[in-house]
């Protein structure tokens, strides 16, 4: 090759910018978001200072002079490292892309090497936590197959997990829950996946495992105390239930005795008043003065605990003359009932309206059937029911009349 005709090599070394748009990385996105938030924060601070009349100096921007008034031409911020690399990559084309890939590969290899070193000091034995980077000679067992098998053996610290049923909930040495990764009493699902842990979770897991190994006797003692406390609690609960049942039985007995005393007093009162009624009124005469007392005695004796046999004549019918049951029902008319209740009103010195309302309340079918009818003898129950219904109809008409 002669010097007179040199070869033109400019075309071979001419580098043109590539039109290929590279994918934005997460770091670049985070940097852009951070710078955008910084600009938004500066604008917000400037707006607040301007609204307050610049009582406080607005925040200084990077590259801004000490003057309070903003400059006419804002200085342009220099591009950061990521923008320079991106611009350089667009200018250099495929060379920069390959260089970036080689750099990322080197960083990944360094990270894998660090993880391998960490796995060598793993106290849990030979677990393929990091895939081919673990200490299992390049063998990676998927988690679905590992869980389908019998599960990995216990960690190297072994006891006390297999010696008692449950670990203590907390320890003051660490101030956190020991059940964050350990199952109750064993590892039924195997050791947790260390690859899915954060650095803090991994550190906590290692610390708890070492503590459990070094303080096995203390954990056994804590478990023994917990079981003893639980047994005492169960015993106290049984004693409380027995005490409640005994109190309920005592209250029932007291109520039964009180009812029996009230029934005996009512019978004694009835026996005491029977001779006086025989001398003060002829047979078949209903005394208006004792009408309210008879209702009180009837309801007091009956109660709702034990049934007492009643006859048709034991019902305080609101008429003057009591005959046979059927004749008494026929005598229940508006005039007879009104005359009897007027006499009751005079004896008790109460208003006739009040006496009528009280009688209607006592003879109301729902109230009477639920409290008194079930105590009437079977052969007279239908007659009593018929008489109560007729008295109730007459009292309804009387209420309209005395309004």
Indicate the domain borders of the chain: 26-60+77-119, 124-214, 231-280, 285-401
Q: How far apart are CA 315 and CA 327, in angstroms?
A: 15
Half-sphere exposure of 285 (CA within 13 A, CB side): 10
**Which of 309, 311, 297, 312 lies closest to 263 in space, CA to CA?**
297
Q: Tell me: the pLDDT tens digits for 309-363?
A: 788 888 888 887 777 888 888 888 888 888 888 888 887 777 788 888 888 888 8
The CA-atom distances, in angstroms, between 286 and each of 123, 126, 158, 248, 373 are: 102, 104, 95, 44, 21
Q: Tell me: the pLDDT tens digits for 240-259?
A: 999 999 999 999 999 889 88
Q: What is the pLDDT of residue 26?
A: 85
Q: What is the pLDDT of residue 343?
A: 84
Binning the chain into helix, strand and coil, the percentages to the nearest 5 are 60, 0, 35
Tokens of 219: 């954990």
The answer to whether residues 402 and 353 touch, using CB atoms and an 8 Å cutoff, is yes
CA angle 377, 379, 382 (to 5 degrees): 90
Q: What is the pLDDT of residue 335?
A: 87
The answer to whether residues 15 and 92 touch, using CB atoms and an 8 Å cutoff, is yes
**Which of 370, 367, 287 lies closest to 321 in space, CA to CA?**
287
pTM: 0.32
Q: What is the pLDDT of residue 6?
A: 59
Ordered alpha helix ranges (H), 281-380: 291-302, 325-331, 334-348, 352-362, 365-371
In the predicted model, residues of the chain with pLDDT beneath 70 are 1-18, 53-96, 119-195, 273-287, 300-308
Q: How far apart are CA 222 and CA 232, in angstroms?
A: 15
**Which of 126, 122, 120, 123 lies closest to 140 in space, CA to CA?**
126
Under DSSP, is residue 262 helix (H, G, I), strand (E, B) or coil?
helix
């Amino acid at each position: 090759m002669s010097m007179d005709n040199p070869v033109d090599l400019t075309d071979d070394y001419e580098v043109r910018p590539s039109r290929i748009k590279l994918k934005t990385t997460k770091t670049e996105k985070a940097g852009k978001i951070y710078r955008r938030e910084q600009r938004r924060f500066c604008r917000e601070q400037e707006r607040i200072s301007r609204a307050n009349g610049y009582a406080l100096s607005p925040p200084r921007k990077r590259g801004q002079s000490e003057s309070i008034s903003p400059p006419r031409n804002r200085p342009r911020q220099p591009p950061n490292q990521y923008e320079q690399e991106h611009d350089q990559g667009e200018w250099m084309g495929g060379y920069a892309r390959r260089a970036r890939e080689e750099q990322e590969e080197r960083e990944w290899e360094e990270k894998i090497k660090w993880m391998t070193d960490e796995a060598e000091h793993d106290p849990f034995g030979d677990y393929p936590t990091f895939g081919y980077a673990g200490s299992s000679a390049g063998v990676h067992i998927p988690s679905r197959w590992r869980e389908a098998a019998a599960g990995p053996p216990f960690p190297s610290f072994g006891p006390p997990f297999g010696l008692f049923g449950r670990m203590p909930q907390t320890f003051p040495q660490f101030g956190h829950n020991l059940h964050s990764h350990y199952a109750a009493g064993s590892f039924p699902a195997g050791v947790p996946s260390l690859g899915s842990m954060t650095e803090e979770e991994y550190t906590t897991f290692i610390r708890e495992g070492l503590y459990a190994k070094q303080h096995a006797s203390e954990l056994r003692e804590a478990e023994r105390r917990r079981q003893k406390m639980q047994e005492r609690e169960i015993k106290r609960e049984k004693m409380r239930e027995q005490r409640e049942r005994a109190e309920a039985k005592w209250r029932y007995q007291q109520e039964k005795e009180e009812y029996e005393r009230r029934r005996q007093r009512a019978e004694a009162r009835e026996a005491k008043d029977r001779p006086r009624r025989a001398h003060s009124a002829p047979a078949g005469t209903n005394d208006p003065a004792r009408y309210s007392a008879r209702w009180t005695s009837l309801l007091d004796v009956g109660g709702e605990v034990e049934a007492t046999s009643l006859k048709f004549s034991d019902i305080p019918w609101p008429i003057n003359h009591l005959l046979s049951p059927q004749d008494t029902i026929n005598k229940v008319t508006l005039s007879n009932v009104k005359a009897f209740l007027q006499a009751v009103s005079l004896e008790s010195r109460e208003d006739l309206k009040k006496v009528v309302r009280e009688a209607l309340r006592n003879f109301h079918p729902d109230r009477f059937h639920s409290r008194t009818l079930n105590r009437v003898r079977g052969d007279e129950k239908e007659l009593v029911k018929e008489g109560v219904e007729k008295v109730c109809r007459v009292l309804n008409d009387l209420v309209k009349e005395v309004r």
